[in-house]
A and B are shown apart, each in its own frame.
Chain A
């Protein structure tokens, strides 16, 4: 198996936590992993991305070649479209629909959703709202990961263990909130796929 994932969002939205959880889940399954991330100036409220590659064979490049990403996981709707040249023909977009508006020329949200929904392989969800419903307000990133999890060939329990490892030092409460958020995202995603 080999899964190329582009993680997208805005600096500070928690895409590196998603990467860390998936990374832990991959390690638990003895998979190879390469994950490239962005630090420094570009983090400050700007567009950020991370390339995450998981494989049962050794991985050469830290960067995903264009046209070969299996999934774009985005915690922000406009950012889900920024890395489309990386997405392969039948690749999936999994994105939050809650916009992060910090620029004056942010496009009309309905137009954005329209552009996303044009893709046959996409799951768009209001992760912020779902996070609120399960009382995990700060865990919308884990909702998005949950929605993407069916597309990553790793047992769901491993993602759960990933959350336990990454958030463990913050206490059981934080772990539980993140687990609930991920589960809600996954349920949404599975329901939506059945409907399609």
Chain B
């Protein structure tokens, strides 16, 4: 037991380690990556033989975690919010199968889209699956919720959703750790068909889940994370969810908020506490990061009273993350700024690193595409998405993991020639392989560029599942070996790359071009590390 300085993400990891977790499963995704990375680096986790290798995608991660839970052990699966879309099939059904060992599904939402393509709110998924949701307001609560979450899951025999947002995940504060709990022994589910969702059993399991709802409501009502602070001024009641509480308190530095506050950290909504604040106060302000999840539940479709204030009536902006100023404004507290940003300050958007291999492939692709026309290149999610920006303007789509290949297929089916996909190696193994199989099945004329930097670069250089195996995978899926072309993306090979691309773009069938050069960041890092090791040897 000690006090550590931890990111919210790291606090969850430490809480899970101390809470008796046997395995963590995840695919990297900002702002969730650091949870798994922390476990991978943790000496305590290593000593306790906690599984922490990356999974191919969020669905495989969710399923593996469910499998570990089936075997009686405590497991956590982590992902970013859009990863839960990928894992949704397994996630929703895991509430029907229920669990054996405790299972925590940790999802990091990204309101304001710092590093994402949307700002969907995972609490809706938790409600959809009808499972308890925990939402910490600070790093200590994040630790505690992970630490205690396995028991909550085991108590009801269903998974628990732990929802955080970017700000908490990537903010550091002191965390007091607790005593280490032992891991569960290997046990099989009492009912051998608990996990068999044949309709006859699924109907029974679903009724069980419905019957549990009153109990999880009751648990929420009693939860220490749902706390009612009384206030003398009942003209307004404030319901704060998760981290919103901190922004509220920031506006009352002397901790003298005159209004009653319901601080929420566990869902389903605690009925009595919510009713109390709504009945007692003239108006109710709902502060929540993400979608108006609570606000919508309180504000029924037919209610025109205007009593509930929040994102839906414009008291709080409808989109974007909260901050102390937005919350302050909603309470009538003006922002006192002294300085504006001078006009001289130019925008500095993110860019592909100097020396990055994606730069070379986009230069070659742009030159080749001059002959074939514009708007025919579909792309995907990774550093190479920055190829949509100047100076390249090379790509025309970025939707979801793997979509480049299947969108290129659909466009080719519609008559687009050539139809091109640009995807990274890690994104390809995440969700591109089945898309390639669709292309092979119909021999659709598409050219798929797998820009292989042999890592999951954008999230910080985690291992990529296909490193050293990409050609084999493509040929194994049915791409003709002569149309799997490997290139070295360097300026000196520019003409050769253009030549190969031209050949494959005119081929009426599935072709895969693999420009391969290690990510400049991971390459520099491993060079530094080996140099550092060398120095140690000499001193």
Contact = CB atoms under 8 A, between A and B. Distances in A.
B41 interface: no
B325 interface: yes
Contact of A62 (B168, B338, B342): B168
A67 B458 CA distance: 33
Interface in B112-140: 114-115
A45 B350 contact: yes
**How big is the B interface, by class?**
35 or more
A59 B249 CA distance: 9
A66 B33 CA distance: 29
A107 B250 CA distance: 36
B170 A39 contact: yes
Contact of A45 (B243, B253, B351): B351
Nearest to B115: A40
A67 B30 CA distance: 29
Contacts of B386: 41, 44
A102 B171 contact: no
Task: Tell which of A45, A47, A82, A86 has the most Cβ of chain B within 10 Å.
Answer: A45
A56 interface: no
Contacts of B34: 39
Given A62-B167, A65-B324, A171-B535, A87 B351 contact: no
A40 B536 CA distance: 32
B309 to A, nearest CB: 21
Contacts of A62: 167-168, 171, 173, 243, 246
Nearest to B339: A84
A23 B172 contact: yes
Task: Tell which of A24, A32, A103 has the most Cβ of chain B within 10 Å.
Answer: A103
Contacts of B323: 61, 63, 65
A32 B138 CA distance: 13
Contacts of A111: 344
A34 B341 contact: no
B345 A88 contact: no
Contacts of A85: 337, 339-341
B347 A60 contact: no
B415 interface: no
A40 B94 CA distance: 30
Contact of A33 (B30, B172, B328, B460): B172
Nearest to A65: B324
B331 interface: no
B5 interface: yes
A63 B172 CA distance: 11
Task: Tell which of B114, B336, B337 has the most Cβ of chain A within 10 Å.
Answer: B337
Contacts of B324: 60-61, 63-65
B183 interface: no
B115 to A, nearest CB: 3
Given A39-B30, A42-B115, A60 B345 contact: no
B383 interface: yes
A46 B383 CA distance: 13
Interface string B164-184: 000110111110000000000
A123 interface: no
Contacts of A65: 250, 323-325, 328, 335
Nearest to B8: A62
A91 B248 CA distance: 24
B168 to A, nearest CB: 7
B349 interface: yes
Given A39-B31, A115-B344, A33 B339 contact: no
B346 interface: yes
Given A62-B243, A66-B335, A170-B532, A38 B350 contact: no
B461 to A, nearest CB: 12
B351 A102 contact: yes
A81 interface: yes
Contacts of B341: 81-85
Interface in A86-118: 86-89, 102-103, 105-107, 111-112, 115
B173 A34 contact: yes
B348 interface: yes
A61 B31 contact: no
B19 to A, nearest CB: 24
A181 interface: no
Interface string A27-38: 100001111111
A67 B336 contact: yes
Nearest to A91: B338
Contacts of A171: 532, 535-536, 539
B247 interface: yes
B458 A40 contact: yes
A10 interface: yes
B352 interface: yes
A43 B532 CA distance: 25
B459 interface: yes
Contacts of A103: 346-349
Nearest to A45: B351
Nearest to B252: A60
Contacts of B173: 32-35, 59, 62
A32 B248 CA distance: 19
B173 to A, nearest CB: 5
Contacts of A87: 338-339
A11 interface: yes
B353 interface: yes
B30 A36 contact: no
Contacts of A44: 350-353, 383, 386, 458
A78 interface: yes
A67 B337 CA distance: 4
Contacts of B328: 65
A44 B383 CA distance: 8
B112 to A, nearest CB: 11
Given A39-B34, A103-B347, 20 more contacts: A10-B348, A33-B173, A37-B7, A37-B170, A37-B171, A40-B459, A41-B350, A41-B458, A42-B114, A61-B246, A61-B324, A63-B167, A65-B328, A81-B344, A84-B340, A86-B337, A112-B344, A115-B344, A171-B532, A171-B535
15 contacts: A33-B5, A37-B170, A40-B458, A41-B114, A42-B114, A44-B383, A44-B386, A66-B335, A67-B336, A78-B346, A79-B348, A81-B342, A106-B346, A115-B344, A170-B532
**Chain A to chain B: the 8 pairs with minimum beta-carbon distance, closest first:** A40-B30, A40-B115, A46-B350, A60-B249, A61-B250, A84-B339, A62-B171, A44-B350
Interface of A: 10-11, 19, 23-24, 27, 32-47, 59-67, 78-79, 81-89, 102-103, 105-107, 111-112, 115, 170-171
